[in-house]
Amino acid sequence: MLRTLGWVVRRDLLLAWRRRADALGVLCFFFIAVSLFPLGVGPEPALLRSLAPGILWVTALLASMLSLGRLFSADLADGTLEQLLLSPEPLPLIVLGKGLAHWLMSGLPLVLLAPLLALLFDLPPEAIGVLALSLLIGTPVLSLLGAIGAALTLGLRGGGVLLILLVLPLCVPVLIFGAGAVSSEIGIGAHLLLQGGLLLAALALAPWASSLALRISLE
């Protein structure tokens, strides 16, 4: 099972590297969108610090949505997806590998870039550390939940808009706990533990739900 998971991750990372403009587009959107907020709300440090957690988390959420539509569409176009469904390997394991590869190409770069952008909002070092940790825990949940939406909207006309409408409500708890961990002066550990619980639940349930949605979409 680990060999299969590693094969799926390596394959998707190789394909994503060949289309690395997509990953760069996600990073550019995140960088530009976050950079515009200090220009729009003004240079007041206290205001920027209070808005920073919500701005960074909402922008990271929207940026992660940009590449979800291509999670299964390329495999559907070249016939690979049908072969994966016929594979003797468990389909949830394959979906988990694809979700992990998506996070490595889109979520992890956002986690690494966010502390640098947090300096624009005059966040203290301890808040930047909590922000990075909350994004590290929360962004994999976004990829796993996004896989469900990508599977449900696979092959549909206008599926990109429908995908966003399906996935965004599911991501609200992750957004609340992630931004709350940075902005709250007490209960930081509680927010991170709740995020960890959401991650464990997504790891356990999202691959199965995505697998079922893929089979329904291809019937």
Beta-carbon count within 10 A of 16 CB = 19
Closest to 55 in 3D by CA, of 114, 113, 142: 114
pLDDT at 204: 92
Short-list 182, 209, 99, 36, CA closest to 217: 209
Give the pLDDT score at 209: 93
The confidence score (pLDDT) of residue 67 equals 82
Q: How many CB atoms lie within 10 A of CB 81?
A: 21
Q: Write down the pLDDT at residue 187.
A: 57
How far, in Å, are 57, 144, 188 from residue 114 at the CA level?
Answer: 9, 20, 18
Closest to 96 in 3D by CA, of 215, 217, 201, 208: 208
Domain boundaries of the chain, sorted by first residue: 2-218
DSSP string of 4-18, one letter each residue? HHHHHHHHHHHHHHH
pLDDT score at 59 = 94
Would you state the pLDDT for residue 186?
A: 52
* Cα–Cα dist 167/158, whole Å: 15
> pLDDT per position in the chain (219 positions), as tens?
778 888 889 988 988 888 888 888 889 999 999 999 888 887 788 888 888 999 999 999 999 888 887 888 888 888 888 888 888 888 899 999 999 999 999 899 999 999 999 988 888 888 899 999 999 999 999 999 999 988 888 877 767 788 888 889 999 999 999 988 887 655 578 889 999 999 999 999 999 999 998 888 887
